[in-house]
Chains A and B, each alone.
Chain A
Amino acid sequence: MDKFRMIFQFLQSNQESFMNGICGIMALASAQMYSAFDFNCPCLPRYNLAYGLGILLVPPLILFLLGFVLNNNVSMLAEEWRRPQGQRGKDPAVLRYMFCSMAQRAMIAPVVWVSVTLLDGKCITCAFCTAVPVETLGNASHPDLSQEEMKLVLARIPCKEIYDGQELIANEVAIRYLRCISQALGWCFVLLMTTLAFLVRSLRPCFTQAAFLKSRYWSHYIDIERKLFDETCTEHARSFAKVCIQQFFEGMSTDLAATRCHLPSKAPADAGEAAEKLLGITDRGTMNTALKSWHRCKPPLHLHPPALPTGNGWAGEGQPPVQPPVPRREMAAYYSRV
């Protein structure tokens, strides 16, 4: 178990740095994706706005969802949220803590995409080129052009090769103007996000530190408990398999009564050790019941020796267990047949 202890400590201390690493990689991937993406403005009046805003807003949504998908703790949160109460109440503060920490990490890549997009300027130039103030920047005194025709001309601003409105408004002037607006928006967005992050981080110690310590402890606990349970089940499965195979070979050798079929020569001491590790669970039905019971009715967070649970759940002291022990009666009935 020493080896497991070291691994768990490593994972625990590095869980945060592992998630931060994934977060950083996604942010870099997001910037790289943008530079690799071949932006292609349609240069048509209504399509420009749709395309530009689509490129600005849809990839961040995808990156946000991807951030959740890549986070290992999502399944842990879902499990804790949906499990039946059993003997252990549910603490909404812990669920909120887990969700908030995941959401904060998932927000980073979308914010990077939006910032890079705005600072680059192509999207906003494409989306809002028909809204350029021609009166101030160019010659609005073109009587021949109707509104629609002017929009058609302005929509071609991002496509320098086909732009034919040089007398109306110079292409470079319009692009510089739009890009300036876009970059100003970008920097304001970056400043806003950094200020929000700073406030979120610095207001917590001022107001909710005690509750935070509690939520953090129990959310780490849930994670460790899940991993340890999986480890215990794996060990159990290994011992089960060992004993099962031994019994099979023993059975074979007694059936055939042949000397050719040698037992995999394990000493009785080994068999005893494996059997001990089985923790008394020696058949499939019992194991299935154990796994079902682990999900339906998690044990209370109370380690005093008496095996009968006293029902101290999350919600407070003195609350009786919500579910009556119906499944156990079923098990006893099952076994009485054997």
Chain B
Amino acid sequence: MDRFRMIFQYFQSNSESVMNGICGLLALASVKMYTCFDFSCPCLPRYNMAYGLGIIFVPPVALFLCGLILNRQSLLMLEEWRRPQGRRKKDLAVIRYLCSSIMQRAMVAPVVWIIVTLLDGKCLICALSDSVDPKKFVGFANSSPVQVQQLLAKVPCKDDELMRNNTSRKAVSRYLRCWSQALGWSILLILIVAVFLARWLRPCFNQAALLQARHWSNYIDIEQKIFEETCCEHSRLFAHKCILHFFESMQEEIKLRSFSLPREGEEAEREEDLLQGITDQDRVNKLLKTWYYEKPALDISLATQR
């Protein structure tokens, strides 16, 4: 039992830290991906906007989905939501708690990507360069509209032959970068303030319900892990007995000396106990089906009274 207690404590303390760790790793991976990514604005009138906005918004969606996939709790939440009621009622507060915790963790990497993108500025310069008002900039005020569009679209490409020494290009670039960085810092500030307020004001609203929801969501997590552990243990014993019986049946047929189980007495009894009378395939299947369709009631007082 000591071993089980140690395992419980390990799982309890580490479930949250494992998920926080994964969240942090995804955020770092997001920054690394951005720095490795070779941003290459097409510098063509309509393509710029599509490319720039695509780079700002598509990778965050992929990162968000990755965050959901890598989080163990999302499976737990879905299983709890979709299971048949059986003898255990469903608590919507627990499901809501799990959902919000999953969403919060999954949002970190996409937000990091968006902020890094905005602070760097290349994406917004690419996306909005041909939407800038040409009258504000000296070099572009005197050309025809079509030419202006073409020229503005080439602003993000420093090495283009038309733009190489164009000072107006640098002006547009600086202007857009300034907006981009202002937007980036504002978003960061708003988010930090929102998170700060949420954390400080949460205890003022319904703390008791929150404690309950958190307890039962931890419970579901641990219960799932222990069920898997117990199944492993059971299948190991099952296999052990099966193999021994196999060798036994071989011997009985060739009628050699009588076979005695290598271990009798206490240890064999303990193993029988652990198998709990579930000794064939149909019973195992029934056990697994019942576990899913009719989870036991959260009431162990009857078991302890026995």
Chain A contacts to B: CB under 8 angstroms: 5, 8-9, 12-13, 119-121, 137, 170, 172-173, 176-177, 179-180, 183-184, 187-188, 190-191, 194-195, 197-198, 201-202, 205-206, 209-210, 213-214, 217, 220-221, 224-225, 228-229, 232, 276-277, 279-282, 286, 289-290, 293-294, 299-304, 307-309, 312, 314, 317, 328, 331-332, 335
> A281 and B236 in contact (CB under 8 A), knowing A177-B42, A332-B253?
no
Chain B residues with Cβ under 8 A from A188's Cβ?
A: 58
Inter-subunit contact B40/A183 (CB<8 Å): yes
Distance in angstroms between the alpha carbons of A228 and B55 in the assembled complex = 52
Distance in angstroms between the alpha carbons of A180 and B48 in the assembled complex = 9
Q: Which of B37, B159, B232, B292 contacts A13 (CB 8 A)?
A: B232
> A209 and B247 in contact (CB under 8 A), knowing A9-B233, A194-B62?
no
Distance in angstroms between the alpha carbons of A183 and B37 in the assembled complex = 10
Inter-subunit contact A180/B40 (CB<8 Å): yes
> A190 and B62 in contact (CB under 8 A), knowing A209-B292, A221-B239?
yes
B216 at the interface (CB under 8 A from A): no
Q: Which of A206, A210, A221, A304 contacts B78 (CB 8 A)?
A: A206
29 contacts between A and B (CB under 8 A): A9-B233, A176-B43, A177-B44, A180-B40, A183-B40, A183-B55, A184-B50, A184-B51, A194-B65, A197-B69, A198-B68, A202-B68, A202-B78, A205-B79, A206-B78, A209-B82, A228-B236, A228-B239, A229-B239, A281-B251, A286-B250, A289-B250, A302-B281, A304-B280, A308-B249, A309-B249, A317-B282, A332-B254, A335-B254
B38 at the interface (CB under 8 A from A): yes
Q: How many residues of B contact A (CB 8 A)?
A: 70
Which residues 190-209 of B sit at the A interface, judged by CB distance below 8 A? none
B218 at the interface (CB under 8 A from A): no
> A187 and B54 in contact (CB under 8 A), knowing A9-B233, A202-B78, A312-B282?
yes
Chain B residues with Cβ under 8 A from A279's Cβ?
A: 247-248, 251, 259
Inter-subunit contact A191/B58 (CB<8 Å): yes
Q: How far is the CB of B147 from chain A (nearest CB, A)?
A: 16
Inter-subunit contact A213/B249 (CB<8 Å): no
B38, B233, B242 — which one has the most chain A CB atoms within 10 A of its CB? B242
> A328 and B82 in contact (CB under 8 A), knowing A198-B68, A276-B262, A303-B245?
no
Inter-subunit contact A299/B242 (CB<8 Å): yes
Inter-subunit contact B65/A198 (CB<8 Å): yes
Inter-subunit contact B236/A5 (CB<8 Å): yes
Distance in angstroms between the alpha carbons of A282 and B259 in the assembled complex = 13
The B interface, classified by DSSP as helix, strand, loop or mixed, is: helix
B59 at the interface (CB under 8 A from A): yes
Distance in angstroms between the alpha carbons of A195 and B62 in the assembled complex = 8
Q: Which of B250, B260, B292 contacts A281 (CB 8 A)?
A: B250
B47 at the interface (CB under 8 A from A): yes
Chain A residues with Cβ under 8 A from B293's Cβ?
A: 210
Inter-subunit contact B249/A121 (CB<8 Å): no
Q: Which of B42, B54, B74, B260 contacts A202 (CB 8 A)?
A: B74
Inter-subunit contact B246/A294 (CB<8 Å): yes
Distance in angstroms between the alpha carbons of A231 and B291 in the assembled complex = 32
B157 at the interface (CB under 8 A from A): yes
Inter-subunit contact B82/A206 (CB<8 Å): yes
Q: Which of A194, A228, A299, A308 contacts B66 (CB 8 A)?
A: A194
> A282 and B54 in contact (CB under 8 A), knowing A183-B40, A228-B240?
no
Q: Which of B40, B245, B284 contacts A121 (CB 8 A)?
A: B40
Inter-subunit contact A172/B160 (CB<8 Å): yes
Inter-subunit contact A307/B292 (CB<8 Å): no
Q: Residue on A with the closest CB to B50?
A: A184
Inter-subunit contact B251/A201 (CB<8 Å): no
Inter-subunit contact A172/B157 (CB<8 Å): yes
Q: Residue on B with the closest CB to A115?
A: B62
Inter-subunit contact A120/B38 (CB<8 Å): yes
Chain A residues with Cβ under 8 A from B59's Cβ?
A: 187, 190
Q: Which of A209, A286, A312 contacts B79 (CB 8 A)?
A: A209
B58, B239, B245, B259 — which one has the most chain A CB atoms within 10 A of its CB? B239
Q: How far is the CB of A91 from chain B (nearest CB, A)?
A: 9
Inter-subunit contact B280/A303 (CB<8 Å): yes
Inter-subunit contact A299/B288 (CB<8 Å): no
Q: How far is the CB of A92 from chain B (nearest CB, A)?
A: 15
B211 at the interface (CB under 8 A from A): no
Chain B residues with Cβ under 8 A from A121's Cβ?
A: 38, 40
Inter-subunit contact A293/B250 (CB<8 Å): yes
Distance in angstroms between the alpha carbons of A31 and B1 in the assembled complex = 46
Q: Which of A172, A194, A300 contacts B159 (CB 8 A)?
A: A172
Inter-subunit contact A176/B288 (CB<8 Å): no
Chain A residues with Cβ under 8 A from B254's Cβ?
A: 286, 331-332, 335
Inter-subunit contact A213/B236 (CB<8 Å): no
B116 at the interface (CB under 8 A from A): no
Distance in angstroms between the alpha carbons of A84 and B238 in the assembled complex = 21
Inter-subunit contact A302/B280 (CB<8 Å): yes
B223 at the interface (CB under 8 A from A): no
Chain A residues with Cβ under 8 A from B235's Cβ?
A: 217, 220-221, 224
Inter-subunit contact B250/A224 (CB<8 Å): no
Inter-subunit contact B43/A173 (CB<8 Å): yes
Distance in angstroms between the alpha carbons of A314 and B280 in the assembled complex = 10
Distance in angstroms between the alpha carbons of A9 and B74 in the assembled complex = 26
Q: Which of B54, B81, B82, B157 contacts A176 (CB 8 A)?
A: B157
Distance in angstroms between the alpha carbons of A281 and B79 in the assembled complex = 48
Chain B residues with Cβ under 8 A from A312's Cβ?
A: 280-282
Which residues 24-64 of B sit at the A interface, judged by CB distance below 8 A? 37-38, 40-44, 47, 50-51, 54-55, 58-59, 61-62
Chain A residues with Cβ under 8 A from B236's Cβ?
A: 5, 8-9, 12, 224, 228
B182 at the interface (CB under 8 A from A): no
Chain B residues with Cβ under 8 A from A232's Cβ?
A: 243, 247
